[in-house]
Structure 1
Amino acid sequence: MPDITVGEYLLRRLRELDIEHVFGVPGDYNLGFLDQVIDFPGLDWVGTCNELDAGYAADGYSRLRGAAAVVTTFGVGELSAVNAVAGSYAESVPVVAVTGMPATAVAAAGTPVHHTLMDGEYDHFGRMFAEVTVARATLTADNAPAEIDRVLRALRRHRRPVHLNLPTDVVLARVPAPTAPLPAADAPTDPELLRAFLDAAAHLLEGARTVSVLAGHEADRHGLRGPLADLLDSAPVRAAVYSTGKGVVDEHAPGFAGVYTGEFSAKPARAAVEDADCLILAGAPVTDTVTGGFTHHFPVGRTIELRPCRATVDRAEFTGVVMADALRALTGLIHKMRLPEPTGYGQPAGAPRRADEPQPTRGTEAEALTQDQLWAAVGDFLPEASVLVAEQGTAFFGAQELPLPRDARFVGQPMWGSIGYTLPATLGTQLAAPERRSVLVIGDGSLQLTAQELGTMARHSLPPVVVVINNDGYTVERAIHGATAAYNDIASWDYTALPAAFGGGDRCVTRRVTTPAELADAFSLAVATPDRLVLIEAVLPRDDAPELLTALADRFAEQNDYGA
């Protein structure tokens, strides 16, 4: 096998991870590597307006593709991206962060070159990345193949970010080409360990009449869509999801009970989770935003928890059990139990409405638009197999209870909650799955952090639908604290003018809507222009917020303890 450059070795491995786009910003320490990115077959360079946005875009891309890559320059560039990488770490999103750094000899000598702290220390920033990655390495001509493979194996195993420092002189160093593909993400669970887990689960399930599953974000990242569908197809099991796991279970499945948010859940989801004789937690760690501020109530002593690389049955832990293996084993066990069909749960939250049920009001032609009407219209518009992206705030909590069409995906960031995340993330989702139209709902305050990536979307001729909720500031923060405080105010922008200002030209269409009728017309325009970016500015009252957000805001205000 002929020698290749270190840069090419890394790019070959990225293609193995199904990465077709590399996000980032050029800087003098990464330009040699970017030459190779541009020339590499099957890879496209996507330059963003700043490194933070590149990291957000990579995060969104990875949620649909399973991995992504972002390239920055040393110091100033990588530190701009580190917030995005931290969000990927918090929400278990696999991203390869590549930093172009000064040449090996320059770093070894401690030369005070630009983008350093001028103290001769070259590992300051790498140590910062160590806190938000599962593996990192500084590549040399000698260690590059082994270290690249080690780091990428960690990314696959843990489904979290990794970091590679790539010095300018190492990019073109010659190394042997890879002779075998990267190993699979997870080795099969040891049969004896899996048998011990299954024995404990069988004992817990003995006599159970109702079994439910609660799925979270780790179920999505660790490939449990198929195993969850198999479970629901083979046994009368109820399934609920955290908001972070929305879309990982088919919301049209007979056993789907809705989104679980602790005490703020709709009755079907709460009953499915809290009243089950046995609850299976599938990649569903407990956090405040997904449990209604820790108001969850799981069946005591009747819970099986599946997490990456371990499973727990009541208090017995089985380290080394792969989640997918455990879920498949449980499916076989539960199938043999012949459970009765569950009754008494009522209509699942998120299930399609019956024809005889009252429909959400769509409003009259002259009536001012409300949150309820907005979400009813979004639900009417969403195409099958689309990607709904919802910014943390009013958008996320409105989308949480919105029924998803078949084969749709949902993207949000409720645990890290970095506002502005979703606009660049939508750039990533639309590139990751061009056959799926991405539909973003984002607040005006969040949009103002990352609005310039509308230009990047237009430059790449991408056709997402972007709904901007113009409600005059940070409504989510007003709901928690400071309803009239100046710090929750923002500048008033002409949002429909932004695509043109960012170079969109005739690749974009925009509408400003203030009534339900105007919103319906705007969505009709989006249907008629599937090849163009459509931005809809929806003007809403300042204090109008989804009911779930209002309830959770009171809970978070209590947790923060700011007083009256």
Structure 2
Amino acid sequence: MKMTIGNFLFMRLQQIGVGHMFGVPGDYNLQLLEQMKEVDGIEFIGTCNELNAAYAADGYARTNGVGALLTTYGVGDLSAVCGIAGSCAEHVPVVFISGVPPLYAMKNRLRVHHSLAEGDFDNIMNCLKEFTVVNTRLTPGNAAEEIDRALIRCWREKMPVYLQVPSNISYLMVDVSDFKLELKLPASDPERLESAARHIAKLLNEAKKPALLIDMDADRSMLVEGLTSVVKKRQVPYAAFRTGKALLSETDPLFLGVYIGEASELSVKEAIGTSDCLIATAPCFVESSPMVSPSGIPITAHVYIRGGDVTVEGEVYEGVTARELVFRLTELVESCPERFEQPTSFTNVPTPQPGASLTQARLWPRMRGFIRPGDVVVADNGTSNISLTDVRLPENTKYISQLIWGSIGYSLPALLGSMMAARDRRHVLFIGDGSFQLTGQELSTILKSELKPIIFLLNNRGYTIERYILGMREAYNDIANWRYSALPAVFAPDIDTFVETVGTEDKLEEVLQKVEGCNCACFIELLLDPEDAPAALKTFGPLTAKLDYGPRGPQRTS
């Protein structure tokens, strides 16, 4: 059948589950925005800048399964690169679409705006090649095939793709497939699948001390359901890297805790280090996962499960899709009686002390009692993320953070994206004042869109995480102390928002009770001492300084 290139692109996006696209209008993409209106089930969400659009698309993809953003050529593309690099680092499927100059302008090397005015139109493409698995410029001759190729690889490989759409071709009619685009993983080689599954099942069934260690790709590769079945049937204790937090239940007695190398709790470190059948799902060994130097990386696992292969006792089984493998394991492993009768409870809430100033040590146990089962918890890098590492979250809580790329300010636009993907779920954001100042303007889009998050802004007047690495009282770790509580009214004067500033434990308790009854967005500023930090951060800071600067670095005298 025949269809315009623009309509086909948006129809395909809608077919793979993209209902919202984030971005900023520009003259090279306005025609695409007009065409988007002709496709049911997909809506454009304008953001304050392209970086925030990339973060929002990332957050949307983490909750929805795939996300998309739209920019204009050059200035828009490069503004979004940091966010796309984060999606690449953390294996998040994002479709990056750029409206670019007319095809004839590029072929004839014309000097146009939003370019370097030298006729080179490959430089932007080359920048994006480093962070995408498909990097293509659509033409009337290749559009139908390239769109399908990009979307399939984006979804299968859980990585960003980049499509340039010249501004003068999106209304051209081309021949396209009349079949709906179906997303499915490649089938495993039957013999390799069965051999790998039986090899792992034998290890598990004979093991006296089995253990599972999960990372973010357990989510990206859709392994959570199958892994849950395996651990319940075989009663396998499990731990998570910080990047795999809350993927499996943190209230089940089988949950050991978060694994952070040598800094792990003794029971977690011992269970992982002494296991006679340790299964790891696509672990990402970076220093932010074990939170120590590379010497803290765990012992070699007996089984590594990745997206398209599995290694068992050193033997590599190629052509094995992880999802099929895990579900086959559920059939092969032997059942064990439950080790515990009741789930462990972690709901003890500290009694507020009247007039006592808020502290990190007392704040986070109280937040554990505030978070409900089914919430989406979004945490920015810094004290929020580090503190929540040790907070066991309720059942079915989704946890969103950007631990590997670690771009501060990510979480607020990511909140926008995740809420667009799941309006029916309560979202709770924890963000520091330093992070907020990078992307805080996106609060206006959240409020304009009539979303109702609960935002806790930790005001500790600077970069506390950096203070504990280097420069505790140096001016470079200070920031301007905004009047944060006034911003919701500035950004959205006609939107009802619950706003409070809290500095004491009893005031926090009073505000939390009010928030529970609110049917609007809530913005709570928490006043904390600049040098107050969670215990883990006090350990993390000096270790990071040693890793970054060496034994003769400036931390010796600070």
TM-score after normalising by structure 2 = 0.95
Contact 1:231 1:331 in 2 (8 A): yes
Contact 2:24 2:70 in 1 (8 A): yes
Moved more, 18-27 or 517-526: 517-526
Aligned match of 2:503:
514
Are residue 165 (structure 1) and residue 164 (structure 2) matched?
yes
Contact 1:459 1:504 in 2 (8 A): no
Question: Hey, what's the Cα distance between the residues in 1 that align with 2:210 and 2:524?
Answer: 43
Moved more, 486-495 or 501-510: 501-510
Question: Hey, what's the Cα distance between the residues in 1 that align with 2:299 and 2:234?
Answer: 20
Q: Give the counterpart of 2:524 among 528, 532, 536.
A: 536
Moved more, 486-495 or 543-552: 543-552
Aligned match of 1:364:
353
Aligned match of 1:469:
458
Aligned match of 2:137:
138
Give the paired residue count. Answer: 550
For residues 105-160 of structure 1, the C-alpha deviation after alignment (integer angstroms, 9 at most, x for no partner) is: 01100000000111111011111111001112100111101000011111011101
Are residue 505 (structure 1) and residue 494 (structure 2) matched?
yes
Q: Amino acid of the residue matched to residue 437 of structure 2?
A: Q
Question: Hey, what's the Cα distance between the residues in 2 that align with 1:173 and 1:128?
Answer: 28
- Give the drift of 1:319: 2.2
Residues 505 and 264 (structure 1 numbering): CA distance in 2 closer, same or farther, change over 3 Å?
farther
Moved more, 255-264 or 97-106: 255-264
Are residue 383 (structure 1) and residue 383 (structure 2) matched?
no
Question: Hey, what's the Cα distance between the residues in 2 that align with 1:477 and 1:362?
Answer: 31
Question: Hey, what's the Cα distance between the residues in 1 that align with 2:326 and 2:157?
Answer: 18
Q: Give the counterpart of 2:474 among 469, 485, 491.
A: 485
SS in 2 for 1:39: coil
For residues 483-535 of structure 1, the C-alpha deviation after alignment (integer angstroms, 9 at most, x for no partner) is: 111111100100101111112434212100001111122222221113x1111
SS in 2 for 1:501: helix
Aligned match of 2:541:
553
Unaligned runs of 5+ in 2: none
Question: Hey, what's the Cα distance between the residues in 2 that align with 1:47 and 1:16?
Answer: 22
Aligned match of 1:188:
187
Aligned match of 2:418:
429
Q: Give the counterpart of 1:353 among 342, 346, 353.
A: 346
Aligned residues: CA RMSD: 1.9
Aligned match of 2:233:
234
SS in 1 for 2:262: coil
Q: Amino acid of the residue matched to residue 535 of structure 2?
A: E
Contact 1:471 1:542 in 2 (8 A): yes
Aligned match of 2:178:
179
Write out aligned runs for 1:62-461 (5 A).
62-201=61-200, 204-205=203-204, 207-293=206-292, 294-296=294-296, 298-300=298-300, 303-333=302-332, 335-336=333-334, 351-353=344-346, 359=348, 361-461=350-450
Question: Hey, what's the Cα distance between the residues in 2 that align with 1:81 and 1:326?
Answer: 36
Q: Amino acid of the residue matched to residue 382 of structure 1?
A: I
Question: Hey, what's the Cα distance between the residues in 1 that align with 2:271 and 2:228?
Answer: 17
SS in 2 for 1:59: helix
Q: Amino acid of the residue matched to residue 460 of structure 1?
A: S
- Give the drift of 1:203: 5.9
Question: Hey, what's the Cα distance between the residues in 1 that align with 2:548 and 2:252?
Answer: 38
Q: Amino acid of the residue matched to residue 128 of structure 1?
A: C
Question: Hey, what's the Cα distance between the residues in 2 that align with 1:364 and 1:395?
Answer: 22
Contact 2:16 2:183 in 1 (8 A): no
Contact 2:97 2:165 in 1 (8 A): yes
Aligned-pair identity in percent equals 37
SS in 2 for 1:127: helix
Moved more, 191-200 or 236-245: 191-200
- Give the drift of 1:360: 5.6
- Give the drift of 1:371: 0.8
Contact 2:57 2:67 in 1 (8 A): yes
- Give the drift of 1:205: 4.7
Question: Hey, what's the Cα distance between the residues in 2 that align with 1:408 and 1:201?
Answer: 29
- Give the drift of 1:427: 0.5
For residues 17-61 of structure 1, the C-alpha deviation after alignment (integer angstroms, 9 at most, x for no partner) is: 211111000000000001112332111110000000000001000
- Give the drift of 1:295: 4.9
Question: Hey, what's the Cα distance between the residues in 2 that align with 1:169 and 1:474?
Answer: 47
For residues 464-487 of structure 1, the C-alpha deviation after alignment (integer angstroms, 9 at most, x for no partner) is: 011000011000000111111111
Q: Amino acid of the residue matched to residue 377 of structure 1?
A: R
Question: Hey, what's the Cα distance between the residues in 1 that align with 2:39 and 2:271?
Answer: 50
Aligned match of 2:8:
9
- Give the drift of 1:81: 0.4
Moved more, 208-217 or 22-31: 208-217
Question: Hey, what's the Cα distance between the residues in 1 that align with 2:118 and 2:109?
Answer: 8
Contact 2:447 2:495 in 1 (8 A): no
Question: Hey, what's the Cα distance between the residues in 1 that align with 2:96 and 2:546?
Answer: 38
SS in 2 for 1:311: strand
- Give the drift of 1:297: 5.3
Contact 2:349 2:366 in 1 (8 A): no
Contact 2:214 2:244 in 1 (8 A): yes
Contact 1:461 1:507 in 2 (8 A): no
Unaligned runs of 5+ in 1: none
Question: Hey, what's the Cα distance between the residues in 1 that align with 2:493 and 2:45?
Answer: 16
SS in 1 for 2:69: strand
Question: Hey, what's the Cα distance between the residues in 1 that align with 2:479 and 2:304?
Answer: 43
Contact 1:210 1:339 in 2 (8 A): no
